[in-house]
Amino acid sequence: MDRDDLLARLRAALPAEALLTDPDVTASYAHDMASFCDAGAPLVVVLPRTVEQVQHVMRTAHALRVPVVPQGARTGLSGGANASDGCVVLSLVKMDRILEISAVDRIAVVEPGVVNADLSRAVAGHGLSYPPDPSSWETCTIGGNIGTASGGLCCVKYGVTAEYVLGLDVVLADGRLLTTGRRTAKGVAGYDLTRLFVGSEGSLGIVVKAVLALRPKPPRRLVLAAEFPSAAAACDAVCRIMERGHAPSLLELMDRTTVRAVNATAHMGLPESTEALLLCAFDTPDAPADLAAVGVLCTEAGATGVVPADDAAESELLLQARRIALPALETVRPATMIDDVCVPRSRLGEMIEGTAAVAEKYGLTIGVCAHAGDGNTHPVVCFDPADPDESRRARESFDAIMALGLELGGTITGEHGVGVLKKEWLARELGPVGIELQRGIKAAFDPLGILNPGKLF
């Protein structure tokens, strides 16, 4: 492949400011936030603003058989947006328009570079909400959320990104434009190609527009914080809450290591004597009564302290503590590896206790924060990459945690995706027949294999 030929063809239909070729600049687009993931050197970074520009990039890449790596805000945690050597990085952050908000149809139509929090604020002005809210919601983009089928703090009640994507416009590997799905509340015409693209990590096509379902804006939520003498007791409380039919809008857990890291980072005054802190929120009309009922269940499960927030402001402060949990753990050691193992809620206690045993076995600090209502744990392995032995132990502990999740009937990723980090483990989870069929789907959409090569399989 001739570099000058590629650049000349790209420049033929792209404005000069859309192309970045300085190696020092393109290197900054080489990887997302994951550790231990290989990344190559991109040949060029393209920042399109229109669908036609994306199509031109893909037609050019297809003609020259050049790999293309689509990117959003690069907040991913599995290496799914990492560049490959000589690739075109297609950054979609400039396609950031909210095209439509309809209160009647309860939909928003957006471009992929729209930031999650910006969309949430925009629809709130119409009395609506867009529920998926990853911890990185202030910076992550809708396109990235779709690519990884991301979740968030409120999934226990409202579900994940896949449940809100009604339709997509997708530029295929050869530059053709495909429209999938619908704008209607119902629709079952043909295979569900929309769901196929959600979670495909840019390996099947480039999302350039999305039709998203919205919900009525709920009342302000109130939060309860409960301290427990063990993670097992906190997980028992989670099981009691769900078994009794409660529908919290949020049910989050932080272990002692995480609580201490949050305090050290933000000086929030969380109780460091606790072994596990459970946050439960309701956005129901009678939230105080719901919190009181949950408080009783927490006490029955062994909570040593149950404190409901007095108002919305105090509730938001507690939620902020949970949102900064991952960045706080990143300050414990020079680097982190963030696992994303999801298990049945009934096995959550075993998952967290097993993770603690892994930390002890490998002599590492591993903090756990979890979307407890979903059984989705985020064990964070803290280590020093400059220490070869510690790095080895970090990788082995990471693998041990994923193996534990599968043993408990879970999955290797609940919301972060596979990317580069978990390719081997995807094969273990799906088995040879599953992998064969998924590769067949990939080949049908991208026969030349130019879209985000080296990811997933």
- pLDDT single digits (tens) 51-75: 999 999 999 999 999 999 999 999 9
Q: Read off the pLDDT of each residue in 165-175 and give the average, rounded to a whole number.
A: 98
Cα 191 to Cα 430: distance, rounded to the nearest angstrom: 21
> What's residue 28's pLDDT?
96
Q: How many CB atoms lie within 10 A of CB 305?
A: 14
Q: Are residues 118 and 209 in the same domain?
A: yes
d(CA 227, CA 64): 59
Residue at which a domain ends, from 326, 361, 392: 326
pLDDT in the model for residue 50? 98
Mean local confidence (pLDDT), 289-313: 94
Residue 456 lies in a domain: no
Mean pLDDT value of segment 392-416: 97
Phi/psi at 102 (5° precision): -120, 115
Name the pairing type of β-strands 88-91 and 44-46.
parallel
| Residue whose C-alpha is closest to residue 328's, from 268, 371, 276 | 268
What is the Cα–Cα distance from 232 to 415, expressed in whole angstroms? 24
Determine the pLDDT at residue 207: 98
- 454 located within any domain: no
Could you tell me if 372 and 238 are in contact, meaning their C-beta atoms sit under 8 angstroms apart? Answer: yes
The confidence score (pLDDT) of residue 319 equals 87
pLDDT interval class at 76 (50, 70, 90): very high
Looking at the fold, whether 207 and 232 belong to one and the same domain comes out as: no
Q: Clarify whether residues 169 and 114 are in a common domain.
A: yes
If asked whether residues 413 and 359 sit together in one domain, one would say yes
Encoded tokens for 101: 């908000």
**What pLDDT score does 243 carry?**
97
Under the banding of pLDDT at 50, 70 and 90, the label for residue 314 is: confident
Mean pLDDT of 411-419: 96
To which residue do tokens 């220490």 refer?
Answer: 387
- What number is the average pLDDT over the span 316-322? 88
Quick count: other Cβ atoms within 10 Å of Cβ 50?
14
Q: How many domains does the chain have?
A: 4
Q: Measuring CA to CA, which residue among 131, 102, 103 is closest to residue 116?
A: 131
Does residue 127 sit in the same domain as residue 175?
Answer: yes
In a domain, 457, yes or no: no
The answer to whether residues 278 and 250 belong to one domain is yes
Evaluate whether residue 455 is within a structural domain.
no
Whether residues 73 and 112 share a domain: the answer is no
- β-bridge pairing 44-46 and 365-371: unpaired
Longest dimension (CA), the chain: 70
**CATH classification at residue 304:** 3.30.70.2190
pLDDT score for 1: 65
Mean pLDDT of 363-375: 96
Structure tokens at 65: 């058989």
CATH value at residue 118: 3.30.465.10
Q: Give the separation between CA 350 and CA 335, rounded to whole angstroms.
A: 26
Q: What is the mean pLDDT of the chain?
A: 96
**Predicted local distance difference test score (pLDDT) of residue 268:** 86
Nearest alpha-carbon partner for 96 in 110, 108, 75, 109: 110
Domain assignment present for 392: yes
The pLDDT of residue 269 is above 90? no
Q: Which domain holds residue 194?
A: 98-216
Q: Let me know if residue 76 belongs to a domain.
A: yes
Give the pLDDT score at 272.
87
- 207 and 133 within one domain: yes
